Amino acid sequence: MVRVDGSGSSNSLISARGLSKTYSRGGEQIQVLQALNLDVDAGEFIAFMGPSGSGKTTLLNLLGGLDVPSAGSITVAGDEITHMSRSRLTQWRARHVGFVFQMYNLIPVLTAFQNVELPLLLTSLSKAQRRQHVETALGVVGLSDRIHHYPRQLSGGQEQRVTIARAIVSDPTFLLCDEPTGDLDRKSADEIMELILRLVKEYKKTVLMVTHDPVVAARADVTLHLEKGVLVEADRLQTVSSGGAR
Amino acid sequence: MAIPVVYNLRSVKERWTSAVVAVLGIAGTVGVFIAMLSLAFGFKATLVSSGSSDNAMVRRAGSTSEMDSSISLDQIKIMEDFPGVAHANGSPLVTPEVVVIAPFPLRSTGTDANVQVRGVSPRALEVRSKVKMIAGRFYQPGLAELVVGRNVDKTYAGLSMGDSVKFGGGTWQVVGVFDAGGSAFDSEVWCDAHVLNQIYHRPENIYQSLTVHLDSPSSLRQFKDAATADPRLTVDVSPEIEYYAKQSRTLTKLIVVLGGIVAVVMGIGAVFGALNTMYSAVAERSREIATLRALGFGAGSVVFSFMIEALLISLVGGLLGAVAVLPLNGLTTGAMNWQTFSHLAFAFRITPFLLGLGLLFALVMGILGGFFPALRAARRPVAPALRAM
Ligand SMILES: Nc1ncnc2c1ncn2[C@@H]1O[C@H](COP(=O)(O)OP(=O)(O)OP(=O)(O)O)[C@@H](O)[C@H]1O
Ligand SMILES: [Mg+2]
């Protein structure tokens, strides 16, 4: 069960302790995260909310090993990532993290197939195995008929589904989604949310998602609010009543 | 596995206008580079092909070329009997020669250029078996007649078959044209050495060089040893090939050095063009690079990928430059032979080796122009670049 008070058990999948991040801009220090604690168990689906500039993206970047904290530690599946060298961290990302960005971040000159294949190029899979994995992932997101399309030939919702296929194709330990529906209309957003829920329920994925949309956040097991640099559990009750023992 | 090359190929294609600067810069540089070297190669090849491996060239000891050499008839008579000298019809195959420089108007500009006029023996064609008459006939001994190399006919006005020309105080008749296989002789005018000495009021029995046809290339040793051992002689004996190769050295070096300077200066410009193209590619694709890094591609993969891209661009530039100058191959031009101060026609000679060298030069420019942008791409922090729109 998710915890924000630093009391998580040692078998939490993701565990952040005393996490701080300070940016310096023009000689001025901006404290974004201040001794934040977080424990997430495998298979949980967490939504992060908070005002713009509260540090949601900063938190995801730290958890995903894209940035390093000013203080504190992050442990994922028993590995402390906060002391890894840059190149080890890069390898760790490839193995453990699936990213879904608000702006999709697909490579425009590569087809859907080639975009989804990218993470597999870092594995030892053969060409035939890669092809099979890519086709499966694109099948899961419902884009089997768009395999050789370029991103600009796809709608926003379809692009985001390619991004999700890319995030799950290598079967990472957890998914980080930064406003995955932020750029989509209501209908596409709903479809993406259905897809993410399916990943959690059917495929037992662990998902950490940032969103501004309360409707979207309501689909998650728990919504955590980022306020003044720490996380606050908003609707603990809801989680308990819906049976958090997943 | 590395970032797929198709990513670079398509990215370059997508933004080809930006790559054009780099491609044209490198193409221009490689073109000039190959053209310069092919000029030097052509010049050298023309002179080197003038020599035959089974001919020996004899000059006064210490002379730098035929121009400042002299050999007396007595000395020539001694050398005719040396071992190694080839014979035909019972007499030695040698040609004692004198050379003068005479100005003739160029067809192209109308201005005068120096032509090397060579007085040869009637056996000159036998000594230099590469030289063949292609029109008219050889001169008649004792007459003021000229045979001209095939480039002479093309390059100068008034030196064609049947023309009668005045120089050196005499009037000469052009009676034949010879083909010397693309060598320096093609730019020469030949006549009877005796007649040349008479008309120029030179001493009857003094020549400037002796070219000896040997039994075989290996006979040079014997002949040279005999010449060195004889106290009556003070001469230098060298293989004819070596003599002409040496003549080509000054100008070849000059062209290579000047061409090298030009190529390096242009190359610096081209590298800056490539740097510019690559830096803007890195800047424009910073979010793509950050995405690849987020997916787990290492800094090394990114450097490698952008180096590949720079090399692709430079290869296209190199190929373009090479193709652009290819039509120069075989094109005849002229230059001053600095050893003899005479005008020499020769052709650009673009060899596969030169083309390879040009492409190598292009790749070096690509490496120089791609390395720092590639490094910047790999070093940029991932998180901020992902936020950038
Ligand atoms: N590289 C950086 N250098 C300086 N300040 C930064 C940097 N990255 C983020 N910040 C600042 O840190 C704060 C938190 O930014 P962050 O992007 O994490 O917020 P967010 O909650 O994701 O906001 P949004 O909802 O708008 O996406 C902001 O004030 C931002 O300006
Ligand atoms: Mg954000």
Q: What is the pLDDT of residues A53-103, one digit of tens each?
A: 999 999 999 999 999 999 999 999 999 999 999 999 999 999 999 999 988
- More confident of the two residues B181 and B22: B22
Q: Is residue A8 part of a domain?
A: no
Give the residue numbers spanning the domain of A92: 14-245
CA nearest to B8 within chain A: A109
Condensed to tens digits (0 to 9), the pLDDT of residues B190-219 reads 999 999 999 999 998 999 999 999 999 999
Query: Which of A101-105, B334-338, B366-370 tops mean pLDDT?
Result: B366-370
Q: Which two tokens stand for residue A123?
A: 């594995």
* DSSP string for A12-50: -SEEEEEEEEEEEETTEEEEEEEEEEEEE-TT-EEEEE-
Q: Is residue A75 part of a domain?
A: yes
The number of beta carbons lying within 10 Å of the beta carbon of residue B353 is: 10
Pocket probe for ligand 1: among A22, A23, A29, the residue whose CB has the most ligand atoms within 8 Å is A23
Name chain A contacts of B293, Cβ cutoff 8 Å: 90
**Tokens 């030289």 belong to residue:** B131
A2 falls within a domain:
no
Residue A159 lies in a domain: yes
**On the CB side of B219, how many CA atoms lie within 13 Å of its CA?**
15
Number of domains in chain A: 1
Residues 6+ apart with CB under 8 A from A127: none
Beta carbons of B146 and B99 less than 8 angstroms apart: no
Question: Do B333 and B347 touch, CB atoms closer than 8 A?
Answer: yes
- Pairwise CA distance, residues A138 & B147, whole Å: 83
In a domain, A9, yes or no: no
> What is the rounded distance in angstroms from the CA atom of residue B275 to the CA atom of residue B314?
11
CA distances from B239 to B220, B221, B258 (A): 7, 10, 30
Residues 158-217 of A with CB under 8 A from B: 166
Please state, in angstroms and rounded to a whole number, the distance separating the CA atoms of residues A78 and A13.
Answer: 8
- One DSSP character per residue, A160-200 reads HHHHHHHHHTT--SEEEEESTTTTS-HHHHHHHHHHHHHHH
pLDDT 10s digits, B278-318? 999 999 999 999 999 999 999 999 999 999 999 999 999 99
Judged against a pLDDT cut of 70, whether residue B365 lies above it is answered with yes
**Does some domain include residue A230?**
yes
Report whether B97 contacts B208 (CB < 8 A). yes
Cβ-nearest to A93 among B2, B287, B296? B296
Is A207 among the domain residues? yes
Q: Is residue A55 part of a domain?
A: yes
B298 CB neighbours in chain A (<8 A) are 87, 90-91
Least Cα separation, residue B388 to chain A (angstroms): 10
Closest-CA residue in chain A for B10?
A109
Reported ipTM: 0.92
Q: Can you give the pLDDT at residue B340?
A: 63
Residue B186: CB atoms within 10 Å: 27
All residues of chain B having their beta carbon less than 8 Å from the beta carbon of residue A86 are 299
CATH at A36: 3.40.50.300
The values of phi and psi at residue B69, to 5°, are -115, 155
φ, ψ for residue A9, nearest 5 deg = -75, 165
Phi/psi for B165 (5° steps) reads: -125, 150
